Amino acid sequence: METLAVAFTLFLIIDPLGNIPIFLSVLQPVAAARRRFVLLRELMIALVLMLLFLWLGPGLLHALKLSPEAVSISGGLILLIIAIRMIFPSRGGIMADDGSDGEPLIVPLATPLFAGPSILATLVLLSESTPERNVDWTVAILLAWAASALILSAGSVLYRLLGHRGLKAVERLMGMLLISIAVQMLLDGVRMALSH
């Protein structure tokens, strides 16, 4: 049951519905025949990144001499900022125009849009706090990834169905849920720091 709860949290952090307009915009210059291939490639890269951070993240933490409390608090702050942006999006949008044409590679679709800093920090925290459950967290990643990949693959259909306003409404609702998760992460980090 906890695996499903983690999968749902990861799904909220990925925010596939909120990312649909950005993904469609970034993929617009790509030839129609290659769009599905490029999308799948970027989704696979994002999956590999998430699995790497889950399994190798704690080693990276120890190498950088970062405590789990620091990761929990920083992850909560990043999550809080992303949730606030979901509820109150800026006029310019998340992505700035870098003037580049052609196919995206790793940036911006695989990361930071899909596997962003907040989800990577969350995965490192999960692995650091309960390393014996990494197999469960891998299942949670796969579930969240599969659900998000399905939504993004059907992005153009959903965009036509829900429209820009409908997608924004759903994204804001997801943002409200994400704020609660972010605050809980912050409280857990502060509680851990004070208990030492």
Answer whether residue 90 shows pLDDT above 70: no
Question: What are the pLDDT digits (tens) for 51-73?
Answer: 999 999 888 878 888 777 777 78
CA gap 49, 40 in Å, rounded: 14
What pLDDT was estimated at residue 133? 95
What pLDDT was estimated at residue 141? 98
What pLDDT was estimated at residue 94? 44
H helices, E strands: number in the chain: 7, 0
Record the tokens describing residue 48, joined without a space.
Answer: 């590999």
- Residue 195 — very low, low, confident or very high, per pLDDT cuts 50/70/90? confident
Residue 105: beta bridge partners? 107
Into how many domains does the chain fold? 1
- Residue 98 — very low, low, confident or very high, per pLDDT cuts 50/70/90? very low
Give the structural domain span for 44.
2-195
Question: What are the pLDDT digits (tens) for 113-172?
Answer: 899 877 888 898 889 888 999 999 999 999 999 999 999 999 989 888 888 788 878 878
In angstroms, the Cα distances linking 153 to 17, 35, 157 are 11, 10, 9
- Residue 96 — very low, low, confident or very high, per pLDDT cuts 50/70/90? very low
* Closest by CA position to 124, among listed 176, 183, 59, 79: 59
- Residue 101 — very low, low, confident or very high, per pLDDT cuts 50/70/90? low
